[in-house]
Structure 1
């Protein structure tokens, strides 16, 4: 007999509600069989339910359903909440093995050259093909300072590479934030983990005065649905979080949890093909209710929800029990969320940052772009009339590295028509910059500039 918990709010990669099984004498396999029959999102053939082990039954379900020992479940939940000993990777299932969704900065995997998109094929001689993430994690994680040898397929080179790494405690900062050039508040959310909404609230408070916002959900594989409801509540025009359809296929719409502080200026969300589950829930909802503009590429397409069922022997069944849609019913599962502005892979942040800055200076004239300039580049501005340089200020010139901070500059007056702009630091190789000249200058006859200018720059 199952304990009826009423309306539940489970998670997509992690879980909120735990449904305990109470029995008189049923074995765990009988408990699992009944749970699957009653709660799995689709009808399951009796042939599948008659299998002799739980693992065999689960093998015929979708790839997000799994059976775990207590130890496997503990490691799985630690990974969701970003408490890790291992090599520093976020993973998902793939037909070839286990796919790397993202790599933790400074961890063993990054130092070994593993990148997001690579496929882990083999760990210490054990093939990962056909294994679920929670099954693969015990092979990859382990005790601190022990070694693990991993063979992986590189998406960059197409080669198969083997590396030996030393496991270590991975310290993950889930929410990272800073004020970008032009007073654009940037917040990166790595997982919908516990207390994510509280950390974002703190970030918004610390970034007071932002004239625009960027919420980065790239490579975010999901997490607690409760946190997705909270985070959707940071967007002023968003009132509904998602639509859920369970085994009965009856739609039910859930409201967001409104926050005391919200994004109070134009807002962008960054997504990519590795944005999944709860990330897609927020992106789909915010896009539909015009709470932000989405930049990037179409997301992963995981529109299914899992619930955790604890069995009498303390093992755990993770089961897909519903699918989610946008509040108005737009599907996400196996479709993904399409951005409003499609960008190049890796160009999401620079494009968003550029558009934020230019939106604040409407009517400015675009000057011819500069391509492949040296890192020592200086900029000479030549006016078509004699100028009164008295009172010229650094505030009149804005040089911003896109995706980064504003660059301080010095100005050297050459003559009555010419001024040189000199960055106080070398430009970043391969960096992209935006030079904006605000119309605060006057001619020697005190005629003010009629129009501001801007110039886009790429560095060699």
Structure 2
């Protein structure tokens, strides 16, 4: 049996983490598997299970995350972890009816065919996926580039069962994505806890060095390497401990956060949802308990178990649950998940986190009455209580910020000595949420400067 140097932590399809394991030699893979389970499985396994005649039958009696893979399946699995895929571009988890999509890669073949997160793939080329592992399902869905595959799926939004013929493509995923949000807030998304996740995140933080705050997005992140979770926890200055591991018949072991050279030195709001799992939950638990960041979203998946990868004599692979992990303080995660500090409606996480950043930045400003159900073509009239010198009214003294997005461009139109109109250059987004911020830099006709800034929340029809 070949050595794999790291222990892995995964939510079904995703990621991995290795730790040194002894080499065990046996003539047949099934004997290796029995020996590995006896020595390393997180719980005692009765002889009645170990005596079953095939590896698959033995693995089927263990937990859902312990899976036997052929060499071909194992190769696809490790490529998936490293964000190198040939297929239709979906991240999956097991479901009683087949496999559930937790992420449809933007502009990938599945996304272009209309498959979305929450949809359930039930058949591939006419073969039912009910009761199949994610790894097995992925082996059916994957294939050579430019070949086609027939996908039957249950559409979450409509409840309809649809069939699509999709052309497989080579997909190289961008693991860290960045964007500037209105108000100089840096948005950073991590898709997988790959081995170089912390390195990539440090580059992103450095690039956004002028940010007044950060939003760190772990939504739909299914996990990754345990070492990566330790390193990512070390991006938060307040976080000293990463997680707690409990192996069979061993005392709990608390692992420290591995401090990084570049850290989040401005306030961080972290986004999670029901598909944030495994290593993503490790980091979420540690930063919540140690005030490293404020969590926004919905309760996480609740996968608190860790898997080790063992390559067998014939180059097939056993993914075996070898430990359970808990928060640094020992709070259970498995089947429970992590409840955010700020619970939001699905899809509202980013806007809520962005809004709170802005409100903290301008906490000394006066809040004006909010506007709701405004038309997408709405203009905004600002009325002052004294006559103004509108020559000092520059556009840079006003911000119209799309919450969860960027700043809207606008023009200013003087109406009279006390009124000025803000006219967006493009229509507002339907159902969008905005914040209009007026900075105290204008002057009156008698040369008095505004004493206080103002802001207003806006909701669009």
Relative to the length of structure 1, the TM-score reads 0.96
**Superposed counterparts of 1:35-184, under 5 Å:** 35-184=36-185
RMSD of Structure 2 on Structure 1 (CA): 1.8
Distance (Å, rounded) in 1 between the aligned partners of 2:347 and 2:170? 28
Contact conserved, 2:4 with 2:309, CA < 8 A, in 1? no
**Superposed counterparts of 1:9-24, under 5 Å:** 9-12=7-10, 13-17=15-19, 19=21, 21-23=23-25
Deviations 1:188-238 (A, max 9, x none): 111112322111111111111100001000001111111111111111101
Distance (Å, rounded) in 1 between the aligned partners of 2:236 and 2:308? 27
Task: Report the more deviating stretch, 268-277 or 370-379.
Answer: 370-379
Distance (Å, rounded) in 1 between the aligned partners of 2:57 and 2:23? 20
Partner of 1:314: 315
| Cα distance, 1:65–1:18 mapped onto 2, change above 3 Å | farther
Distance (Å, rounded) in 2 between the aligned partners of 1:393 and 1:378? 17
Deviations 1:351-373 (A, max 9, x none): 10011011011132222222232
Task: Report the more deviating stretch, 250-259 or 14-23.
Answer: 14-23
Partner of 1:196: 197
- Are 2:374 and 1:373 equivalent residues in the alignment? yes
Partner of 1:287: 288
Deviation for aligned residue 1:4: 11
Distance (Å, rounded) in 2 between the aligned partners of 1:72 and 1:334? 27
| Cα distance, 1:397–1:44 mapped onto 2, change above 3 Å | same
Contact conserved, 2:2 with 2:313, CA < 8 A, in 1? no
Deviations 1:253-305 (A, max 9, x none): 11111111111111010000000101000000000000000000000001100
Deviation for aligned residue 1:421: 1.1
| Cα distance, 1:80–1:4 mapped onto 2, change above 3 Å | closer
Deviation for aligned residue 1:104: 0.2
Contact conserved, 1:10 with 1:16, CA < 8 A, in 2? yes
- Are 2:358 and 1:360 equivalent residues in the alignment? no
Deviation for aligned residue 1:90: 0.3
Distance (Å, rounded) in 2 between the aligned partners of 1:16 and 1:77? 12
Deviation for aligned residue 1:409: 2.4
Distance (Å, rounded) in 1 between the aligned partners of 2:321 and 2:22? 16
Deviations 1:162-212 (A, max 9, x none): 111111112311110022110101001111123221111111111111000
Task: Report the more deviating stretch, 163-172 or 333-342.
Answer: 163-172
Distance (Å, rounded) in 1 between the aligned partners of 2:9 and 2:300? 18
Q: How many aligned positions are there?
A: 457
Distance (Å, rounded) in 2 between the aligned partners of 1:172 and 1:361? 37
Contact conserved, 1:123 with 1:149, CA < 8 A, in 2? yes
Stretches of structure 1 that go unaligned for 5 or more consecutive residues are none
Q: Secondary structure at the match of 1:309?
A: strand
Deviation for aligned residue 1:9: 4.3
Distance (Å, rounded) in 2 between the aligned partners of 1:15 and 1:232? 15
Contact conserved, 2:9 with 2:305, CA < 8 A, in 1? no
Contact conserved, 1:17 with 1:308, CA < 8 A, in 2? no
Partner of 2:410: 409
Deviation for aligned residue 1:3: 7.4
Distance (Å, rounded) in 1 between the aligned partners of 2:4 and 2:153? 44
| Cα distance, 1:299–1:4 mapped onto 2, change above 3 Å | closer
Q: Secondary structure at the match of 2:8?
A: coil
Distance (Å, rounded) in 2 between the aligned partners of 1:87 and 1:122? 14
Partner of 1:344: 345
Q: Secondary structure at the match of 2:195?
A: coil
Partner of 1:452: 453
Partner of 1:326: 327
Partner of 2:28: 27
Partner of 2:264: 263
Distance (Å, rounded) in 2 between the aligned partners of 1:229 and 1:213? 20
Task: Report the more deviating stretch, 50-59 or 307-316.
Answer: 307-316
Relative to the length of structure 2, the TM-score reads 0.95
Distance (Å, rounded) in 2 between the aligned partners of 1:393 and 1:418? 14
Deviation for aligned residue 1:149: 0.8
Q: Secondary structure at the match of 2:307?
A: strand
Distance (Å, rounded) in 2 between the aligned partners of 1:15 and 1:88? 23
Deviation for aligned residue 1:19: 4.1
Partner of 2:222: 221
Distance (Å, rounded) in 2 between the aligned partners of 1:245 and 1:314? 29
Distance (Å, rounded) in 1 between the aligned partners of 2:315 and 2:147? 28
